[in-house]
Chain A
């Protein structure tokens, strides 16, 4: 089980890392663009005095480069600090000593190179616009240019993104599809948000006015003023939210699949293991000595060599040997989950009873093309032998690389008695009492008996733990997006200081100014969350397909509706938090600025 889950986690982390870098890049772009705009006069002066266009562009790019270096140093420190903290925490919680921390040099170098490249890319357009500053702009007022033709390009990218997310990607190409769709949707939303802001405001403005009064209306209409910049901020929220919902749907899908498998196949009341080998005839002894137990069924666990068609060296896979009678549709208590058109319970019983046949886990079908009616080659005690495939079932054991065979073939795989016994209790008997009776009846075996609910809980807990890390990273994505919004609001404020001062002069209180900024933050976050949820729903299929291809699990996305509702309800609150610092700054602005003072 572990390898499959780790693979999924790894792929999730890679998608996440790529997206976080993209988000960082867009925020860097936003910041560079704002700072170029703010210093338009300065650049114009440089152009007037001495520098050529090329030199101005180089100057701006140099700044981007220096910023990226600073970012790398800080990022590295933060990364090492965080990983030390996480490792220490894990060490403490798992109970081993924390001694060393390995800093992966290759990752550091790679991340640094990517960081510099992304920064330069983000700085390129602002640098170009800086170089195009007309010398006369030194004496002109600063204006916020909105790129021409941006909305149309935005709609195009958006359409391409939607197409990429619903396209029928096959196998591993789905991973590429997920990344492509995410990039296109992000860029598309960033560029088309200015057009989407107006209809959004039609709905939001009356609500904000009701809550915040005039300040709410002003803030809401202010969000249109720097629509281009707010668009990128909305885009950042879209990515954070979209990723959370998309990956959340995949994770929930895996959980649902495992849960359903556990519910269907983990049948039986007691799961019994022993530190010593079970004696032959243990099942009969239990029937004789413990009246509380009704049925006893052995399970053998083996690792065998399997030779897929295109891998002559073979793979080590799990082989689970079961008692065919447990899966007798008429009388047994065991159940399998079948892949559609890959056999049913009768076929499986026939195959297991006959011996010399196996059932394949669905992962074997997805990775190695094993289907019902095929023959597979497994190494037995007498060398390689062919086994017929009687059906394909869902099984998450051993990372999904599993065959299920009959205990009647146990001799061919090293013999011995079963490693585990699954038992049901007699009608009306208490499982706990049955457990105590069983342990008491065989003191020489030191039996370890797990009740059904504990056994299930243990399996589910294992998977849950693995996904907790992913959830933490998703929260991080949303946090970074909020920081991006805070940053954007701050930049908006810089270009609107004068206006804020005029409002203060006209009689808006500090509280009123805070509310103006907060209302704008809420607009950006609510719109971002709304579009992010849509993006997440669009992306969940392609992300899940990618994860399925990578892990071999057959997963369908499960939409995390509860998460979606929480996100939508919480988004105004996050907007409020993101605007705390810029709102405070705005409130502290001196109204003197309105009259040209400093």
Chain B
């Protein structure tokens, strides 16, 4: 009986486990009396251990997608599953717990709390979850891997942009999340520092098995990912793997670089 209801492809070629799954996501906004369709019936699966870049022009629905994947906003239709767990009917508190335990966020302008030291900033999500004791060990490991051991007692204002983004990355990783959601993580960095941060993401994915979803409009940044999806008018309009020869031409086709 069971084999009959399962799709054949699943039976024959086992898919890697999905870290994040969007099924038929739709979202509309009212803006000045007009209804704007931000996402319409979007389908997306991010397997564990993948570095995915989301590209698209402004207004294509990138931000809305990130809000919905990050459980910060609710969809009008469709659902988001994190490591196989549906989230559609959860309360605000339950969603908050999921964000805290399963998701890591990296922002364009770092968003460190200015009156806390780098160390306190990194430990914040663990403390909110009441896991500070365990997190101390993780902190030591992360700080040395990200090269910020010497800066832990500093306030954000005393750190360079690159250092702030490393601290933010450590904060995103402290609770060992299923997925890291990054919103233009190099947008406020010079190109050299940006490259360094992206290399950190790449190494993390290859060596530590992180899963990363990164929204970016920078083709160079996107090329650090394993896979790029293109968004236009709230729909996925194309995708490419970056290890293929056609990656650059695909980007050119969709983004017009």
Interface of A toward B, CB cutoff 8 Å: 214, 218, 221-222, 224-225, 498-499, 502-512, 590-592, 594-597
Contacts and interface: CB of A to CB of B under 8 A. Distances in A.
Contacts of B107: 502, 594-595
A505 B128 contact: no
Nearest to A225: B115
B113 A508 contact: no
Interface in B76-132: 92-93, 96-97, 99-101, 105, 107-108, 111, 113-116, 124-125, 127-129
B115 A224 contact: yes
A591 B113 contact: no
Most chain B CB within a 10 A radius of its CB, from A224, A511, A596: A596
Interface stretch (B10-18, B66-74, B140-148): B66-74
A222 B115 CA distance: 7
Contacts of A509: 92-93, 96-97
B63 interface: yes
B21 interface: no
B99 A505 contact: yes
Nearest to B124: A506
Most chain B CB within a 10 A radius of its CB, from A214, A506, A508, A592: A506
B171 interface: yes
A507 B97 contact: yes
A273 to B, nearest CB: 72
Contacts of B100: 506-507
Nearest to B174: A506
B93 A510 contact: yes
Given A508-B128, A509-B93, A592 B73 contact: yes
Contact of A597 (B73, B105, B171): B73
Nearest to A597: B67
B72 A505 contact: yes
Most chain A CB within a 10 A radius of its CB, from B64, B128, B129, B175: B128
A592 B65 CA distance: 11
Given A499-B111, A504-B72, 6 more contacts: A214-B127, A507-B125, A507-B175, A508-B128, A595-B72, A597-B63
A502 B129 contact: no
30 contacts: A214-B124, A214-B127, A222-B115, A502-B107, A503-B113, A503-B124, A504-B72, A504-B96, A505-B70, A505-B72, A505-B105, A506-B99, A506-B124, A506-B125, A506-B171, A507-B99, A507-B100, A507-B128, A510-B96, A590-B73, A592-B67, A594-B111, A595-B63, A595-B66, A595-B107, A595-B183, A596-B108, A596-B183, A597-B64, A597-B73
Leading 5 A-B pairs by shortest Cβ distance? A507-B100, A591-B72, A502-B111, A221-B115, A507-B128
Nearest to B108: A596
A595 B70 contact: yes
Contacts of A498: 111
Contacts of B114: 225
B125 to A, nearest CB: 5
Q: Is the interface of A mostly helix, strand, loop or mixed?
A: helix
A221 B113 CA distance: 10
B137 to A, nearest CB: 19
A590 B72 contact: yes
A330 to B, nearest CB: 77
A596 B99 CA distance: 18
Contacts of A594: 72, 105, 107, 111
A381 B127 CA distance: 91
Given A507-B100, A508-B128, A502 B113 contact: yes
Nearest to B113: A499
Interface in B175-211: 175, 183
Contacts of B64: 597
Contact of B116 (A221, A508, A597): A221
B217 to A, nearest CB: 13
A506 B115 contact: no
Contacts of B105: 505-506, 594
Contacts, number: 77
A456 to B, nearest CB: 59
Contacts of A224: 115
A508 B111 CA distance: 15
Nearest to A508: B128
Most chain B CB within a 10 A radius of its CB, from A218, A225, A590: A218
Nearest to A222: B115
A590 B29 CA distance: 15
Contacts of B111: 498-499, 502, 594
B128 A214 contact: yes
Contacts of A214: 124, 127-128
A508 B95 CA distance: 11
A214 to B, nearest CB: 5
A594 B73 CA distance: 12
A591 B107 CA distance: 13
Contacts of A596: 63, 108, 183
A517 to B, nearest CB: 15
A592 B92 CA distance: 13
A516 to B, nearest CB: 11
Nearest to B175: A507
Contacts of A595: 63, 66-67, 70, 72, 107, 183
A218 B116 CA distance: 9
Nearest to A506: B125
A508 B96 contact: yes
Contacts of B63: 595-597
B62 to A, nearest CB: 10
Nearest to B98: A507
Contacts of B92: 509-510
Given A505-B105, A506-B99, A509-B96, A592 B115 contact: no
Contacts of A508: 96, 128
Contacts of B67: 592, 595, 597
Contacts of B127: 214
A488 to B, nearest CB: 18
A512 B72 contact: no
B67 to A, nearest CB: 5
Contacts of A507: 96-97, 99-101, 125, 128-129, 175
Contact of A512 (B99, B115, B128, B175): B128
B129 to A, nearest CB: 6
A146 to B, nearest CB: 14
Contacts of B97: 507, 509
A504 B92 CA distance: 10
A509 B93 CA distance: 6
A597 B63 CA distance: 8
A150 B100 CA distance: 41
Contacts of B115: 221-222, 224-225
Nearest to A141: B109
Contacts of A499: 111, 113
Given A225-B115, A595-B67, A595-B183, A506 B128 contact: yes
A218 B123 CA distance: 13
Nearest to B129: A507
Contacts of A225: 114-115
Contacts of A502: 107, 111, 113
Nearest to A214: B127
B239 to A, nearest CB: 23
A591 B67 CA distance: 9
Contacts of B175: 507
A535 to B, nearest CB: 28
A595 B70 CA distance: 10
Nearest to B66: A595
Nearest to A221: B115
Contacts of B99: 505-507, 591
